[in-house]
Amino acid sequence: MLHGTGHKHESRKPGDGPTVAPEDGARFLSCYCSGHCPEDHKNNTCETNGQCFAIIEEDDNGEAILTSGCMKYKWQTARQRYHRDLEQDEAFIPVGESLKDLINQSQSSSSGSGLPLLVQRTIAKQIQMVRQIGKGRYGEVWLGRWRGEKVAVKVFFTREEASWFRETEIYQTVLMRHENILGFIAADIKGTGAFTQLLLITDYHENGSLYDYLKFTTLDTQSLLRLAYSAACALDTNEVDAPLRIVEDHQLPYYEMVPADPSFEDMLEVVCVKGLRPTVSNRWNGDECLRAMLKLMSECWAHNPASRLTILRVKKTLAKMVESQDIKI
């Protein structure tokens, strides 16, 4: 704590005068000293051309100890400041590097949990939004471009920050890169001052989401097996949304039991508490392939988790069905 302030002569600057530097100037300030007194002090008084100071400390017993003294004047020069334009973050990604190149480099040189955070933030900053292509409970999906490459940008509503964080955390799990799993590119929070954007950037697929495809497309047996096997290959690594849910009129499972946009609590009540299962048309029993698919689905719906088929078993069963139907994957 400073108690007094010395006076700095404006005419004195480094280099002015042949012999006397500012710190060697006349001592014009007298201070009370205790514990920090110089050898030539008189009656606990010291003189300085700088400032008086006092220090309050606590000893081992918790008692306050006050000491004071003189602080010598020291000429201070302005510190050189370095300004770095944030737009120069582009330098972290060399010109000509594609998203595929960056991801491949990341997989070969790091833990496999995705691109470095600085690279993710740089990509998110350079994204150009083109048009909105979807909207749901948690936010909007936009078509974006990064250096000419198309990407999908999921913009979460601000109130859904927990959902953004959870989904980002899942995508950045080690070994999540798989040909049957939507490719994660980057995630970032962008603040413009007026509002905040929670961004999740992934690969862009021209045909849209699996949900939209199943909603507007009538599947034949071969398409059903092809999609089911593709999903099983992804599930063999991590859990994703599988298309084994097709029922009569191509509705979602439990569409008669839950709201159109069910919450986690809605599904928990119907599936786990009440133990209900989707109903399937009797027409499935009239086709050998669909009958085998129905049996496989039913074995996956067992109430006791230990009785359910492992995803590896599901994958092998579907592989045999695909082979028997002579379907090319």
**22, 41, 71 - which closes a domain:** 71
Taking the whole predicted model, whether its pTM rises above 0.75 is answered as: no
- Tell me: the pLDDT tens digits for 79-129? 455 444 444 444 467 777 788 888 777 766 555 566 888 888 888 888 999
- Check which CATH number belongs to the domain holding 49 and give it: 2.10.60.10
Give pLDDT, residue 151: 93
- Tell me: the pLDDT tens digits for 301-323? 888 888 889 989 999 999 999 98
Token pair, residue 172, equals: 């950045």
Which amino acid, 289? C
Q: d(Cα 169, Cα 193) in Å, to the nearest integer?
A: 26
- Reference 68, options 89, 84, 44, 104; nearest CA is 44
Are 135 and 172 found together in one domain? yes
Token pair, residue 98, equals: 């594609």
Are 97 and 164 found together in one domain? yes
Confidence of residue 156 (pLDDT cuts 50, 70, 90): very high
- Tell me: the pLDDT tens digits for 258-279? 777 778 888 888 888 888 888 8
Question: Does 313 reside within a domain?
Answer: yes
Which amino acid, 178? H
Question: Does 78 reside within a domain?
Answer: no
Question: Does 142 reside within a domain?
Answer: yes
Query: How open is the CA angle 283-288-289, to the nearest 5 degrees?
Result: 95
Token pair, residue 174, equals: 């080690």
Q: Which domain holds residue 42?
A: 2-71
Question: Does 91 reside within a domain?
Answer: yes
Which amino acid, 304? N
Q: How many domains does the chain have?
A: 3
Grouping H, G, I as helix, E, B as strand and the rest as coil, residue 189 is: strand
Report DSSP state, residue 201: E
Question: Does 190 reside within a domain?
Answer: yes
Are 216 and 181 found together in one domain? no
Which amino acid, 259? P
Q: d(Cα 141, Cα 138) in Å, to the nearest integer?
A: 10
Token pair, residue 83, equals: 């300004």
Q: d(Cα 156, Cα 169) in Å, to the nearest integer?
A: 15
Q: d(Cα 275, Cα 261) in Å, to the nearest integer?
A: 20
Are 235 and 318 found together in one domain? yes
Are 273 and 226 found together in one domain? yes
Burial of 170-209, coded b for 16+ CB within 10 Å and e otherwise, reads: ebbeeebbeeebbbbbbbbbeeeeeeebbbbbbbbeeeeb
Are 242 and 287 found together in one domain? yes
Question: Does 77 reside within a domain?
Answer: no
